[in-house]
C-alpha cells in the first residue's frame, strides 16, 4: 500500500517552482484582502498542483476514482440547513461565508481571532482524502486546505492542553435548519479531538474542493477534515477553536452516546446499534443501493498512519 503523506507537511515550494509558489502566496493575500471570490484565482491555481502532488514519491495517492463533484456538492449532512441530504445544496444560498474569522482561545499563549485571509496565507496543502460517514456511505474527495497544526501552532498551546474543541456558527437568519419549532440538534454544533489527533499531518482545515472555493453546503468557508474518522467529526463553518485540558462535549456523542463515540474512529467491528458498519456504499459511479458496496476498512484505510495514536486503547469501548 503506498504511503499517503510525508511525516511533515509537503511545502508548496516542493510541488511547484519557487517563482510560482511565491506568486500563489501573493495571490492568496491579494484575493482575500480584496474580498474577491477565490475560485477563479488562488484556489484554482492551487488545484493545478493536485496531480503533481499525487504523482510525487511520498505524496498522497489513494489509487481510487474520485467521487463525481455533483454528488459531493449535492448529497450532504449539514443539519443547519435541514435534515435531508439535498437540503444543504437547496437551502444554503443565503449563507454568507465572508467576511469570516475564527476565535482561538483556551489553553494558549496567544488567544485571539484569526481572519480568513490570514488563514489562507498559510501554505495550502493539496491532498485527496477518503471521507466516510456513519450512514455507511463514502466518497473520495480532493480537498484543498492546510494542516490544522499550522493554525494551532500560531496560538502557542500550553503544556496543559490535551484536547481541541470546535464550534460552528449560529445564524438562524441564514441557516433555515436553525430556526422554527422543530430543532433537530442543539446549537451550536460542537466537536472535539484529542490534541495529538488535531496535530496529526492528516488532519486539515479545508477551504476548497475540486479546485474551487468550498461551497456553502460543504462547510464554507472553513471546515475540519479528519479522514480516518466518520464524517460527523467533520465540523463545518467553524467559528471557534478552544484548547482545553478536559475532553470537550461532542454534539452527537452527547445526544446518543451509545451510538456515537467521542473518538468516531472508523471501526468495522463496532456496529452502530441500528445497522452494521462492516460494509459501505461508495457514492457515485455505481448507485446508492449496494451496487457499489465494499468492505469498510479499519481507520478508513489509514491504519498504517494513525493506529499508533490509539495503542493500548480498547477500540470497541473507545469508538
Strands (DSSP E) contained in 210-252 are 212-213, 223-225, 238-244
Confidence of residue 74 (pLDDT cuts 50, 70, 90): very high
Domain count, the chain: 1
Q: Is residue 61 part of a domain?
A: no
pLDDT at 182: 86
Neighbours of 276 (CB within 10 A): 10
Higher-pLDDT residue of 65, 123 = 65
Confidence of residue 143 (pLDDT cuts 50, 70, 90): confident
pLDDT digits (tens, 9 = 90+) for 273-318: 888 889 888 888 554 454 688 899 999 988 988 999 999 999 989 9
pLDDT at 124: 66
**What is the percent of the chain where pLDDT is above 70?**
74
For the chain, give the number of residues. Answer: 319
pLDDT digits (tens, 9 = 90+) for 127-141: 667 666 545 588 888
CA distance 37 to 32: 8
Q: Of 207, 221, 240, which Cα lies nearest the Cα of 95?
A: 221
Return mean pLDDT, the chain: 80
Q: Is residue 14 part of a domain?
A: no
CA distance 60 to 15: 12
Q: Is residue 34 part of a domain?
A: no
* Model confidence at 20: pLDDT above 80: no
Q: Is residue 52 part of a domain?
A: no
Domain span at residue 107 reads: 66-309
CATH number, domain of 183, equals 3.90.420.10
Dihedral pair phi/psi, residue 313, rounded to 5°: -90, 145
Q: Is residue 214 part of a domain?
A: yes
Confidence of residue 70 (pLDDT cuts 50, 70, 90): very high
Q: Is residue 183 part of a domain?
A: yes
Q: Is residue 49 part of a domain?
A: no
* Model confidence at 28: pLDDT above 60: no
Q: Is residue 302 part of a domain?
A: yes
Amino acid at each position: 500500500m503506498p504511503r499517503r503523506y510525508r511525516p511533515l507537511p509537503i511545502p508548496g515550494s516542493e510541488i511547484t517552482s519557487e517563482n510560482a509558489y511565491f506568486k500563489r502566496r501573493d495571490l492568496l493575500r491579494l484575493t482575500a484582502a480584496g474580498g474577491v471570490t477565490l475560485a477563479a484565482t488562488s484556489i484554482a491555481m492551487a488545484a493545478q498542483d493536485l496531480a503533481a502532488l499525487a504523482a510525487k514519491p511520498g505524496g498522497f495517492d489513494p489509487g481510487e476514482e474520485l467521487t463525481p463533484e455533483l454528488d459531493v456538492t449535492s448529497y450532504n449532512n449539514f443539519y443547519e440547513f435541514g435534515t435531508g441530504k439535498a437540503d444543504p445544496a437547496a437551502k444554503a444560498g443565503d449563507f454568507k461565508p465572508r467576511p469570516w474569522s475564527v476565535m482561538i482561545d483556551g489553553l494558549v499563549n496567544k488567544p485571539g481571532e484569526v481572519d480568513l485571509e490570514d488563514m489562507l496565507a498559510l501554505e495550502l496543502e493539496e491532498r485527496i482524502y477518503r471521507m466516510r460517514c456513519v450512514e455507511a456511505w463514502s466518497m473520495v474527495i480532493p480537498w484543498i486546505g492546510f494542516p490544522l497544526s499550522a493554525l494551532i501552532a500560531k496560538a502557542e498551546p500550553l503544556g496543559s492542553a490535551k484536547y481541541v474543541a470546535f464550534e460552528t456558527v449560529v445564524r438562524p437568519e441564514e441557516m433555515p435548519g436553525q430556526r422554527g419549532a422543530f430543532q433537530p440538534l442543539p446549537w451550536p454544533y460542537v466537536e472535539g479531538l484529542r490534541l495529538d489527533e488535531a496535530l496529526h499531518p492528516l488532519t486539515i482545515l479545508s477551504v476548497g474542493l475540486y479546485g474551487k472555493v468550498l461551497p456553502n453546503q460543504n462547510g464554507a468557508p472553513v471546515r475540519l477534515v479528519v479522514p480516518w474518522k466518520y464524517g460527523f467529526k467533520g465540523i463545518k463553518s467553524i467559528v471557534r477553536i478552544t484548547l482545553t485540558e478536559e475532553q470537550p462535549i461532542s454534539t452527537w456523542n452527547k445526544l446518543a452516546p451509545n451510538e456515537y463515540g467521542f473518538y468516531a474512529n472508523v471501526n468495522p467491528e463496532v456496529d452502530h446499534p441500528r445497522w452494521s458498519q462492516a460494509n459501505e456504499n461508495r457514492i457515485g459511479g455505481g448507485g446508492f443501493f449496494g451496487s457499489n458496496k465494499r468492505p469498510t476498512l479499519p481507520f478508513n484505510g489509514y491504519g498504517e498512519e494513525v493506529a499508533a495514536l490509539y495503542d493500548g486503547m480498547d477500540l470497541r469501548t473507545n469508538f
